[in-house]
Amino acid sequence: MRSNFPLVTAIALVNLIFMGFTFSQTLNGSFTVGGPSPDFATLQEAADALKSNGVSGPVFFNIRPGIYTRNNGNNSVLVLDSIVAGLSETSRITFQPDQSSGGNVDNVILEMNRTDILTSNPSLVLVKLDFVTFRNITFRHIDSLSMFSNSLIRV
């Protein structure tokens, strides 16, 4: 009896290569974050895609209405701290409310609530890049631990 192992291995390898090309396209255009059937469920997923894939033109992340936290508000909602290939003055990244789903400054909220000083991050948003814009978003801090060393945005 002949084994199909080499054929199965070859098919799996081709699938992995194809998936790598499919998911590693540079970002360009508009993407949704949060809500029903989004392009990215969280802001950090969007940031991770930026870091992995880079950009090839202006990128807009349209955030649907909601309160966005990470680990119940204990950790940064968004960390963009490494190089994003293609980022420039003309290929900017913009985070903004998704107006088509009713998003606005009053209902798109990034929130921090440090409850455990040992495991929490001191910043709600950490960005170490140029050409990143936040437009009409509410940044909110609930000071459960009465910590004064927090920052909402660290650039």
Mean pLDDT of the chain: 85
Name 143's Cβ contacts closer than 8 Å, sequence gap at least 6: 113, 114, 150
- Judge whether residue 21 has pLDDT over 50: no
| Residue spans per domain, the chain | 26-154
Asked which of 15-24, 25-34, 90-99 is least confident by mean pLDDT, the reply is 15-24
Q: pLDDT tens digits, residue range 85-126?
A: 999 999 999 999 999 999 999 999 999 988 877 788 888 899
Is residue 39 within 8 A of residue 25, CB to CB? The reply is no
Please tell me whether residue 68 adopts helix, strand or coil conformation.
strand
Q: What is the pLDDT of residues 57-82, one digit of tens each?
A: 999 999 999 999 998 888 899 999 99
* Residue 30 predicted with pLDDT over 50: yes
How far is Cα 76 from Cα 86, in angstroms, rounded to an integer?
A: 25
